[in-house]
A and B are shown apart, each in its own frame.
Chain A
Amino acid sequence: MKWDITEHALHSEFRAEVEKLSGQNLGDCYQCGKCSGGCPVLPELDLSPNRLLRMVQLGLEDEALRNETVWCCAACGTCDSRCPMGVEILRIIDVLREMAKNRNVTPPATAGRVLTFYRSFLDCVQEFGRLSEVALMGSYNMNSGRLWTNMVKAPWFFLKGKVSLSPHKIRQIDRLQRAFKRVEEIESQ
């Protein structure tokens, strides 16, 4: 891969915005790679965490927002806990995910399934106030077009009495839905 890194990119608005939203100083990362050394999902990523941070440092907005890594990160926080400079890497990845979502950046193939899962999850919370695992599985399978995901496991849930079939709706659902709406309005500004 070849990247065009200009003087302008090094002082990019993108980098400044990530720093502002995450409260982290990207200059603190000196690329030691310790974050990537401990990353449990590294074999499945297209960019190691330290390379992802390097891209933000260099202002490579498109590359930093559209990749498998931001979505396939399991949010375990090992990178954060081991960074010798105390950079909160997971917070930075959360900021990148949120920017990618708000700017409608389409994630690459399998990574898109993760965003679909998160959307299905929050849709369910918005509707009922609590998550129903059955409703989530159903809506994720519909939204992702992968209809049989986990269906092999479903009988266990029923046999073991581990599902509550009626979603638990909270009393103050109207207030919660107004909160979702307000967050959406603020984010679209």
Chain B
Amino acid sequence: MKYGYYPGCSLLGSAVEYDRSGRALLEALGVELEEIDDWVCCGATAAHATSHLLSLALPAISCAAAEKQGLDVLACCSACYSRLKQTNHDLRKDPALLAQINEIIEEDYKVKPRVLHVSEVLANEIGADAIREKVTKPLDGLKVACYYGCLLARLPKALRIDNIEYPTMLDDLMAAVGAEPVDWPCKTECCGAALTLARQDMVIRLSGELVQMAKECGADVIAVACPLCQANLDMYQSDAEGQLGEQLGVPVLYFTQVMGLALGLTAEQLALDKVIVDPTPLLVERGLVEAGVYL
């Protein structure tokens, strides 16, 4: 199994732990990744909110590179995944638009590659059974609230990989590694996403309410699939605590980090030290990492 890996910009910076844990997990499961040659930023909300053409041109450049490498595209960041997949969908529907985009990006893109999210590869291409076989440290009793955010589940009808209001793909993956998925009502609520710098007030309110709900529903940790969700829920948790007047202290990990624990990957391989709300005390107590491995 080999894919064209699209890391996306966040995974080179604020979400470096998603990159490291994702690669380590896929390697442990026998998946080969080849980075897409000279990939460019997908443009994210900044592009689709201000320029329709640019929002298609940027993803098309990277997908055209994957096409030349003869590979399907695998993305970890939900925002990148959503933009790349939406672009392919729009370009397939409209040959005139494809011709215009090809002229803009100086390519002869034929929209051959599929765009897959890492969770989709794990659930559908590798499968829960194969994952279960590789589990060496089942996460017995660890209560995980899977937070899908907006972009992973909420795609146009033709592109959906999961239920739009109550997705279960990540929950099923958590169950496969022995964790207990939490039934909670905020799986696809918005964290405020790209408004993180321009409207922090909104982001703190939305993220705080989410973490509060996960805690009320009994979650030990929140598992996420998007760098902006992780940053907003983790980084602003102390601000939200101030506004809500209560202690939250819920670690927010990438779902690849949580799964990696069960496959026996080390704290270092999973870059557990990169998250702000420290998961160490909890994970040490559950015997999932050794005490004193990192700061």
Which residues on the A side are within 8 Å of B54 (C-beta)?
Answer: 122, 180, 183
> A170 vs B12: C-alpha distance in the bound complex, in angstroms?
13
Which residues on the B side are within 8 Å of A164 (C-beta)?
Answer: 12-13
Which residues on the A side are within 8 Å of B47 (C-beta)?
Answer: 122, 125
> A149 vs B106: C-alpha distance in the bound complex, in angstroms?
38
Interface string of A118-155 (1 = CB under 8 A from B): 11011001000111111001001000100001100100
B139 within 8 A of A: no
Taking CB as reference atom, which chain A residue is nearest B235? Answer: A153
A12 within 8 A of B: no
- A160→B273 contact, CB < 8 A: yes
Residues of A in contact (CB 8 Å), total 62
Interface string of A92-117 (1 = CB under 8 A from B): 00110110010000000010011111
A186 within 8 A of B: yes
A157 within 8 A of B: yes
Shortest beta-carbon distance from A69 to chain B in Å = 12
Most buried by A among B41, B53, B106, B198: B198
> Count of A-B contacts with CB under 8 A?
167
> A134 vs B9: C-alpha distance in the bound complex, in angstroms?
11
Interface string of B96-123 (1 = CB under 8 A from A): 0000000111100000000000000000
Shortest beta-carbon distance from A53 to chain B in Å = 17
A32 within 8 A of B: no
- A76→B193 contact, CB < 8 A: yes
- B13→A187 contact, CB < 8 A: no
Which residues on the A side are within 8 Å of B44 (C-beta)?
Answer: 121, 131
Partner of A74, one of B105, B188, B194, B235: B194
- B190→A76 contact, CB < 8 A: yes
Q: Knowing that A81-B165, A129-B41, A187-B53 are A-B contacts, what are 10 other residue pairs whose CB atoms are under 8 Å apart, sorted by A's residue number? A: A43-B205, A44-B199, A44-B201, A77-B154, A101-B50, A101-B51, A150-B200, A153-B235, A160-B273, A164-B13
- 16 A-B pairs with CB atoms under 8 Å apart are A40-B206, A41-B190, A44-B199, A72-B195, A74-B150, A75-B48, A78-B150, A78-B190, A81-B154, A114-B195, A117-B197, A118-B45, A118-B49, A153-B235, A164-B12, A179-B57
